[in-house]
Structure 1
């Protein structure tokens, strides 16, 4: 059985990747920061510790690594997202392992006015986006054969554990949170199972490397995304307490990903959010 190492296996995406890898016949091992995931053999690991990362990858000798671990906020974000990603890349390269590094559409400002392609240069406007943008060349310097899988807002949909994006929209709809969902920030939300399947497919390939856009088929605003989330749970999207408005300065704007290359390369279909989040009748 071929071994797959998933960093961040306790996270929302990491758990889905581990499950998909096991279902596809990989021997899956994971890493976690604080809390071990259930259903997968996992090791506590701080990716900021280059020696610990190298020792673990050397000991486990995976054929492929999918790097999902990240930090979105806080002082540690840069060290985790940039240095940690480089450490994982260097260890994977030394072990001769395939590497799929999960990147983000947050590396773009969204000023091109069209879907973003792999050759578009990063121009981040948020601190998080800057860390993800800086991670990409660091990863490729350490592992030239790595895939940089740039993705977007991740969600589960009906019958799947809700993502943080879904939980936020549902809390706002119930009046528990005051949130303005931006009308001019456009993204390509991707269903977590579709994305996990795509990442595992990429881990099993040997020829593709560099940036690859892996987003859902439908570009939608943050407000439309929130309304779709709530409608799919059975609430009337025209009566719910969701407030829209323009994004403030310092936010990315029109950032849908052109994922046509990934869709030609992969077997999995990267469904659009309007297809997955079909409205459900209240009751």
Structure 2
């Protein structure tokens, strides 16, 4: 089986690349914006025709949430129109598709974990384009699995965990939002879930949710990072109103993972356990870089 992974240098793509090294059965082809520019719809079709994958793992996206507010047309091309092209190709050639979506498709006003059939109502450009991407997949008729995830971090690239570590080392005191609720997702866990689904004998199309287990705020997350790293920085809890951003964020985006656990029997580790694993990786990478 030939598996094409888009967004190869992103957090999820990087984790899938590492896990794929232990898979001697399937062929993995990794492409990023250089090989598969998602803002060039014609090139997308040409690349898919040339590779002709059995499964497309669609992880590439425009993810700069605040910047998206100022360039909505580009964001729509990448997160919606490109996804529509991939889905149509998948349906036409009878190939499978796994697409990564986001909690940002929701309004964020719920107070109970969000199920897959909850109405979507995005509050920013990024969320709107991701919603349109989901809708395009469903309308295409493609044999597709859509996975919504949230608060993704890893030892790769830029993310909340690595930013917090840097700021806490540089400053004696920082402030972090305490009234946005959800659960983080370690990209290594998401990558394992994606690969389990790809290799499953029980492929079942539809929308699924995946994040780590637990219910926390960004403030709780920051405090845990500080304590596990043994840092001394003071972390202040603040409301969203004290940290305005160009794009609005959902106040509540805790995802219900019951469906993906029931259908695919994927492991969903607790957020704190996964954070410990990720920090060990981050610290190991930093040590290796220092010793070069």
**How far did residue 214 of structure 1 move?**
0.9
Native 8 Å contact 2:58 2:100 kept in 1: yes
With 242-251 and 85-94 compared, the bigger mean Cα shift is at 242-251
Gapped runs of 5+ residues in structure 1?
Answer: 35-43
- How do 1:78-89 and structure 2 match up within 5 A? 78-89=76-87
Is 1:181 matched with 2:176? yes
Partner of 1:37: none
| Aligned counterpart, 2:13 | 14
Query: For the Cα contact (< 8 Å) 1:228–1:278, is it kept in 2?
Result: no
**C-alpha RMSD of matched pairs (Å):** 2.3
**Within 2, Cα distance between the matches of 1:222 and 1:229?**
11
Q: Find 2:117's aligned residue among 116, 119, 123.
A: 119
Number of equivalent positions: 264
- Asked if the contact 1:155–1:189 (Cα under 8 Å) also holds between the matched residues in 2, the reply is yes
Which residue does the alignment assign to 1:164? Answer: 159
Please name the residue that 1:269 is paired with: 267
Which residue does the alignment assign to 1:240? 233
| SS, match of residue 46 in structure 1 | coil
- 2:79 & 2:172 partners in 1: Cα distance? 29
Q: Aligned-pair distance for 1:267?
A: 4.0
Q: TM-score, normalised by structure 1?
A: 0.85
Q: Distance in 2 between matches of 1:161 and 1:90?
A: 31
CA contact (8 A) 1:5 1:62 kept: yes
TM-score normalised to structure 2 length:
0.82
1:59 aligns to what?
Answer: 50
For residues 10-32 of structure 1, the C-alpha deviation after alignment (integer angstroms, 9 at most, x for no partner) is: 11111112332342332110211
Deviation readout 1:226-272 (Å, 9 max, x if unpaired): 2222323232xxx4233321123732111100001112233441112
- Per-residue CA distance 1:74-104 (angstroms, 9 max, x = gap): 4222211111111221222233221000000
Q: 1:105 to 1:26 in 2, by over 3 A?
A: same
Match of 1:197 among 192, 195, 208: 192
Q: How does 1:37-56 map to 2 (within 5 A)?
A: 44-56=35-47
Moved more, 178-187 or 92-101: 178-187
3-state secondary structure, aligned to 1:47: coil
